[in-house]
Amino acid sequence: MSSRSLSGIRLVAFDVDGVFTDGRFYLSDDGVETKAFHTQDGFGIRCLIDAGITVAVISGRTSGAVEKRMSELGVLHVIQGCEDKVAALDEVIEELNISAAECAYVGDDIPDLPLLNHVGYSVAVANAATALHQQCDYSTSDRGGGGAVREVCELILAAQGQ
């Protein structure tokens, strides 16, 4: 898909594990889970929001760290513990009164495929499963947890003249 198709993107949704993170999580002996987020990704998210583009995260897992980080960044649509990512995105789309064609989604693994096939622009991070690279509109140069989110934010902002 050309950058022209990115000019109409009004919502960018992201998976978390493997996209905002490198796919690892740390579990202490006490059962406390922690994740590492890339600072530059956070700045990219803020730039999208400042440009009037809505951001959502949709994750199959549930994490307090994700809730806190997304709150810090001003992400209003945080959906965790989600079994049906397409239905979750459709709820956000309906709330915003936009279409799936006006959405981009960024994923890294096979469970993301239904949602990647549902949106107007699909993105696989560099370290995504091979099947995603074969089916997505764009593959990042950067890995999940290593600047891939920022790369996507810059790509969309540039396409929209920001």
Per-residue pLDDT of the chain (162 residues; tens, 9 = 90+): 445 589 999 999 999 999 999 988 888 898 888 888 999 999 999 999 999 999 999 999 998 899 999 999 999 999 999 999 999 999 999 999 999 999 999 999 999 999 999 999 999 999 999 999 999 999 999 999 999 999 999 999 999 988
The predicted structure's pLDDT at residue 117: 95
The predicted structure's pLDDT at residue 24: 85
User: From start to end of the chain, where are the E strands?
Assistant: 11-14, 26-27, 33-34, 54-58, 77-79, 103-107, 121-124, 138-139
Record the pTM: 0.94
Q: What is the C-alpha to C-alpha distance for residues 142 and 151, in angstroms, rounded to an integer?
A: 7
Domains of the chain: 3-159 (3.40.50.1000)
The predicted structure's pLDDT at residue 28: 86
For 89, phi and psi rounded to 5 degrees? -65, -40
**Which residues, listed in sequence order, are joined to residue 139 by a DSSP beta bridge?**
124
Q: What is the C-alpha to C-alpha distance for residues 91 and 93, in angstroms, rounded to an integer?
A: 5
The predicted structure's pLDDT at residue 1: 42
Least Cα distance to 85 among 106, 64, 63 occurs for 106
Whether 35 and 71 have beta carbons less than 8 Å apart is answered as no
